[in-house]
Structure 1
């Protein structure tokens, strides 16, 4: 019997005696695990090129780092914390950073102990805490909830199409900042589970990270530049590769991967967002 682990079939086990001498067992008595190679990459080392390079006791996690499973902070190094998902009894050890609540982030390791980096759609991350409702957040925050997690996010007064170039805190409750960090960043209403909640001339589209957002129905056609106005792509498309010198409207295709043109492929980004891109982009890693 075997199960697939990161693209490679590995034998299941409950003890190291069931594995090869160069492997270790992630399971224990009564708890089935998998035999994994004892690699050379230590805890928090980069495993992006080889997910099976991690040393015994660690495995390759979502941020391409070798991480250690834990149940409490005592299972981790003194300066680290045990990051638990909402409702979970086990998690993984992570390093802590200096970013405080409400500050922008790209990964959990940049946030202080007790906080995590919340990512939604194409927004920039924010160091924050989980929540069960708005009452669980601070006065100037709202509770963002999506499949898999919830997070207290800063609240401002900008609605769909409004600028958030100065930071995610500009967006009103129920809205998130898309293309954070760019001069043309804008706020968009979250419409996950409520596709009819968008305003006139807006469409509820999947934006990645299990989040649907209301996107303005713009006039820029698929394949045309949206570098200066990423909110103006036509309905059914989204601006990808946004930066100071690039940005292209691309057709969304997650619900119908076969809808792309003959010389295109439906490319799925790490966030789950999928758009039609030229075949040569997909080979090099599409720009988003």
Structure 2
């Protein structure tokens, strides 16, 4: 095999080969010269640099996001400048025969190679590694068995109508191009953009193929493809569809100089009896698919018929409604199968034809509960009915709904309590009352042998001594001791207060003496639970020299007064009040009623006189010296002595 190198700008790395000239002749290398050619390429890569029109920037191209809908998903994170090339013409009026100029044969090109591209057939150019943007240097076999390295269009089939991905594989370029679905409008070729940017007007998107593989493909920004020159040359064709409420019809459209033709698919219509597949479902005169129905009606009901087309006429075939029987069919066509018959498990078969009425996996002849699911056939009491349907699962004569332990025959309402660790009578207590010795201060328990133990509770355990007249009751030595007796004193002196052990405090009215708390009343007494005041105390102390009054808080008040006074008792009753007493005026003549006194006058102690001096009187009567006693009797002097006369 020979390798041909055409028209390559080599540079100064191999001056003896081209001497910086545009080489116009073919240089043929035999197979044993292949290593030499490789050395030439390495030299050029190190010293010559790249063609200024090469696809710079391909490396580092961002990976697009994986879509989740299995279709085309643009990468929202890519910068617009990274996803689309500048909108500049790929070829700007190339000279005839030069690279990019239109051609119909090799003879039209300076480098005699006319190759297909998305712009139509254009003149190519030879290459070693680099080509203008959008083109790739690729070795192709032009029929001689040798590889000729030419610049070929990377995206030759981009946006070309297609039926499958095979239509998108270009003659020379366009590797990994996929036929992308476009809905009813048809399918169009994408272009691989996994390591190169898309041309202007296209976006690099993820496409998940039906086989699950992910491809990065260029798709038009507007979502629509036109007809490229290449597509027009090939009259590229795609499959299209038209749809309506009745179905979808398939057709084709292809590229012309005027653009894509309209889809030639028929318009899907309602199926009619005309010998044509109107709705495009592949069946002619399929009236049911066309939505045509026909009823069959009688006195029992209306059943749906099947419309059929025969000799251009629609016939309605089917069964008439009949009375419902238990057969698993909707005989009367009311929409309910065997509706008069019970269906315990609500499946598709009524009980009359269902061999497992409760759908528990056990057929009725072997099922201990035929209408209630009991897949494990539980039967607690071993009778003929399983637990799922037995109203008394422990056979204790109490229905489960009223039994606190429906699976224990020793526990049910009304059963006598025994020392067995169970709530035999369903009152919420276990073994209560069996060992009760009537003493709260003992712990009454059933022992392991079914007997009783009555051990004292700890001292200080609160208890109730049976009387409400004690307020703090605690256990002491297994007995309840009451303390802190209740104080029943109601503070009323007219009630008798006492405590009844059962009813507690009571207060009974009495008739005792009391005090109404008023010191000005005397002899207060109780009546109907209240203290009634007695007579009011006059507080009269019979002293004209005091002012008498009463203070309810302290009682009588006898306040001394001044001024004149008279007791009215004797002739010395007139005087002046002093210190609460009537003090007579002294010196006033009076008669003290004693005839043996003389010179009577009022003193502070009343009327008082001087005793008669009978000694003087008797001396006067004696002419001598009177010796002896003398005394007064009834106002007269009795001279009992001796008169010694001289």
User: In which range does the TM-score fall when normalised by the shorter chain?
Assistant: under 0.3
**Structure richer in strand, relative to its length:** 1
Q: Quick one: higher RCO (CA 8 Å, sep 6+), 1 or 2?
A: 1
TM-score scaled to structure 1, two decimals? 0.27
TM-score scaled to structure 2, two decimals? 0.14
